[in-house]
Chains A and B, each alone.
Chain A
Amino acid sequence: MKSFISKRALASGVSLIGLVVLVFFLSRLTGDPTDLYLPLDASTEMRDQFRQMHGFNDPLIVQFGRYVADLARLDFGQSLRQARPAMDVVLEAFGWTFWLAVITMSCVTLAAIVIGSLAAFRVGGIFDRIATFFSLIGAAAPDFWLAIVAIVIFAVKLHWLPTSGTGTPWHWILPVSVLFIRPFGLILQVVRGSMIGVLSSAYVKTARAKGVRTPVIIFVHGLRNAMLPVITVIGDQAAAILNGAVVVETVFGFPGIGKLMIDSILLRDFAVVLAVIMVSALAIFIMNLLIDLAYALLDPRIRY
């Protein structure tokens, strides 16, 4: 197990270093942030001073050396936009996105497993058809469109829910619901497919010959086996939210990592962009380990 983790960490570390280097240099190609932060009529000296202060005058490679040296001291640089340590900004936003991902994926997992399993039990039945149809539509719907349609209906027309912010639990309902739909459609399909395979397997036949009750066959004998391919997809979808549900966070004004990312990119807040990438990478690394752990817990044949 230990050697497995360290091997994984090494591979991810190599990728992360490559990523940070790539992002550092490529992001500088998007232009000088000076114009974005100083008023239009700022004098040449003011601009020069701004560049001097943030080190934009030095050659790129020197800037990179400085950045790496700072990293070694766990200093992730300053946010240009908010004038405070970039990591503080990122961790704050990450907290919001983390809970958004946890709540959404818990709902998705529960709903997709129950509905997908029942759909698989009677393939081609009316319940199966309805579930399949809605999951296909769900998997096809663009989230930005769902988001604005939801706002029009529930916030503007019905006045049931607030449009943006995070103040109360009510604020969470729309973002979670909109984020719910696509992963739900995808995971439901995977649960259903996997469950159909499992329910026609030999050991389910044995269970039937033993006289085991149907719900026990589906949710005890079947589910644990059917979950293996499902877990991978759950991981992918959770990673997508952790990486920033940019559109949904933007539309609902949710102060998460996705919104922070797009704002920072547009405003050339390089330190924050890099910090976001590193935090996301770490989060996804940990989540993948958890997924592997879940694999091993579900299937005794898997040992690392």
Chain B
Amino acid sequence: MAEHLLEVRDLSVEFHTAAGTVKAVQDVSWHLDRGETLAILGESGSGKSVSASAIMNLIDMPPGRITSGTILFNGRDMLAMSAEERRAINGARIAMIFQDPLAHLNPVYTVGWQITEMMTTHGAPREEARTRALDLMKRVGIPRPELAMNKYPFQFSGGQRQRLMIAMALACKPDILIADEPTTALDVTVQAQVLELLGELQDETGMGLLLITHDLGVVAEIADRVVVMNSGCIVESGNAAEVYRNPQHPYTKKLIDAAPGKGEMPDEQERKGEPLLSAIGLHKTYGAFHALKGVDIAIMPGETVAVVGESGSGKSTLARAILRLDDPNSGQVLYRGRDLLAMSPRELFGLRRDLQMVFQDPTQSLNPRMTVFQLISEAWAIHPGILPRARWKERVAELLVKVGLKPDMAARYPHQFSGGQRQRIAIARALAMEPKLIVCDEAVSALDVSIQAQVIALLDGLRREFGLSYLFIAHDLPVVRDFADRVVVMKDGEIVEEGPVRQIFDAPAHPYTRALLAASLDPDPEIQAARRAARNLEEGLEIA
């Protein structure tokens, strides 16, 4: 058998936590060769990052412990090496980039210093390292590298920061690059650019690329082979296109089915009569920054309107302005013909019931010191007219069942639930008010794909049951496709395109909408391959 560049054999790692010993990965085996891309696909808690941490010697022992296995790098067992040998490999031969580049770059040193340090740590002279750092920054597409060298991480955009991380990782020309969710925190258009850059750099250097991701689309775009993990075990592995086309394991099937953007799009509804809620000419500035530049939007009763845009597009500001969490500078928000912005606090209080919100991160939007019962029943304490106190317990139980939880969970605290369960609690809390409109601000963005699909299905069911309207804020187009009636595309505080969901997806008119659609990745490797080919052809034609 030929020797692989990197091979993990029967690796098992456990962590000692207060809740007992957790087996993070069990008997995991995979290998990576020069020039190829292997993706490890899994949801949170699947243990997909653990083998990478073991390779980089990042597992703290204790509480972690490697119970069995070998990691062969060029045929040598890394687990048998001294700490000093491992350190010499880290960065120089195997480098790693991470999900959130802002958190992973040291905030108090310049990026130039940090890239240079990678090389000086492994013995390069300072001047030489500096010159190469400049070249690298140029190569990854940082504008004006001489100036950028002396800037700090917070002065760059998210995409640029990830480029800088990549430049740093490639500084010592490593044999292997490990990328742990490298594009998860980025906008779709930026994600496409970063993945393209990774692909190019791999072609140039012939390095092996290990990609850890939860996103089938990313796998489809860049991976040669894929390893699917669930609860610490590898459930399936093989050629990426093969696995997608013909998944063997039920978990893989479930994961592929859960990928958004394949369902039936709803037919266009006729919009007539009075809108439930409409915003007219909303402007909002934060200092010199113009977050909303005259936005108009209307939501009919029972309708789901999705607002899609990348970070900085003003979509969240719009949601907050509509609910008067941030008062806009000018404009109107009409709810059944009455202007919310002109209302006194007392009048507004009466309408609060009708307009509820589900926030992005349920960890933060649920008070950590209140039980689920207190969280949900607070609605009735604030608005005494809804429900007599005697019926609270019963109704909380009903609502919990309605959102797919168990009634006896009412006595628990939010930290005892998983992310998806917490979001269900937040939805139950919104339902307790018996609202007419729920504003969902990135309500499913932080959740795993399979959980995301469940929560969307829940929201969809509630819409039918209660005749709810949704204002659904999202950055992810495929999620919106299955669920929304209308789509509003925002960019830089303005609406660039608006229309029924079919029209937006099938016949996008605005170039930005087209760019967004083109950048969002399809989970099917063959479709992505076709798109790549088309892209390359276009570029080729341009050059010609």
A211 touches B104 (CB 8 A): no
CB distance from A70 to the nearest CB of B (A): 47
Which of B90, B105, B109, B165 has a CB less than 8 Å from the CB of A211? B90
**A211 touching B107 by the CB < 8 A rule?**
no
In the complex, whether B74 has a CB less than 8 A from a CB of chain A is: no
Q: Is A201 an interface residue, CB under 8 A from the partner?
A: yes
Give residues 199-250 of A contacting B (CB, 8 Å). Answer: 201-203, 205-213, 216, 221, 224-225
Assess whether B19 is interfacial by the CB under 8 Å rule. no
Known contacts A202-B100, A300-B152; is-contact A210 B118 (Cβ 8 Å): yes
Q: Is A299 an interface residue (CB 8 A)?
A: yes
Q: Which residue, of B89, B117, B168, has the highest number of chain A Cβ atoms within 10 A?
A: B117
Q: Is the CB of B87 within 8 A of A301?
A: no
Q: Which residues of B contact A203 (CB under 8 A)?
A: 103-107
Contact A210 B117 (CB under 8 A): yes
Q: How far is the CA of A249 from the CA of B108 in the complex (A)?
A: 40
Interface string of B38-65 (1 = CB under 8 A from A): 0000000000000000001110000000
Tell me, in angstroms, the Cα distance from A301 to B153 when the chains sit together.
9
Q: How far is the CA of A19 from the CA of B47 in the complex (A)?
A: 61
With A205-B104, A206-B106 as known contacts, state yes or no: A212 contacts B117, CB within 8 Å.
yes
Residue of B100, B107, B122 touching A301 (CB-CB under 8 A): B107
Answer yes or no: B96 CB below 8 A from chain A CBs. Answer: yes
Most buried by A among B57, B91, B92, B165: B91
8 Å CB contacts to A: which residues of B75-110? 87-92, 95-96, 98, 100, 103-109
A300 to B117, CA, bound (A): 19
Tell yes or no: A298 within 8 A of B by CB: yes
Give the residue among B91, B106, B122 with the most A Cβ atoms within 10 A. B106
Say yes or no: B106 contacts A209, CB within 8 Å. no
Q: Which residues of A contact B168 (CB under 8 A)?
A: 210
Contact in complex: B90, A210 (CB < 8 Å): yes
Per the CB 8 Å criterion, the residue count for chain B at the interface is 28
**From B84, which residue of chain A is reached at the shortest CB distance?**
A213
Q: At the interface, yes or no: B505 with Cβ under 8 Å from chain A?
A: no
Contact A208 B90 (CB under 8 A): yes
Cβ B107 vs Cβ A208 within 8 A: no
B106-154 residues at the A interface, CB under 8 angstroms: 106-109, 117-118, 121-122, 152, 154
0/1 per residue, B14-43, Cβ < 8 Å to A?
000000000000000000000000000000
- With known contacts A209-B58, A210-B90, A202–B104 Cβ distance under 8 A: yes
Docked complex Cα distance between A299 and B117 (Å): 19
Of A205, A206, A211, A299, the residue contacting B88 (CB under 8 A) is A211
Complex interface residues of chain A between 262 and 304 (CB less than 8 A to chain B): 298-301
Contact A225-B107, Cβ < 8 Å, known A208-B57, A209-B58, A211-B87 = yes
Q: Do the beta carbons of A225 and B91 come within 8 Å of each other?
A: no
User: Does A211 contact B117, Cβ atoms closer than 8 Å?
Assistant: no
When chains A and B are docked, how far (Å) is the Cα of A216 from the Cα of B168? 18
Separation of A224 and B122 alpha carbons in the complex (Å) = 22
CA distance A205 to B98 in the complex (A): 10
Give me the interface of A with B, judged by CB distance under 8 Å. Answer: 201-203, 205-213, 216, 221, 224-225, 298-301
New contact pairs (6) apart from A211-B121, A212-B91, A301-B107, CB-CB < 8 Å: A203-B105, A209-B90, A210-B90, A224-B109, A300-B107, A300-B108
User: Mind listing 11 A-B residue pairs with CB under 8 Å?
Assistant: A203-B104, A203-B107, A205-B104, A209-B95, A210-B118, A210-B168, A211-B90, A211-B121, A221-B106, A225-B106, A299-B108
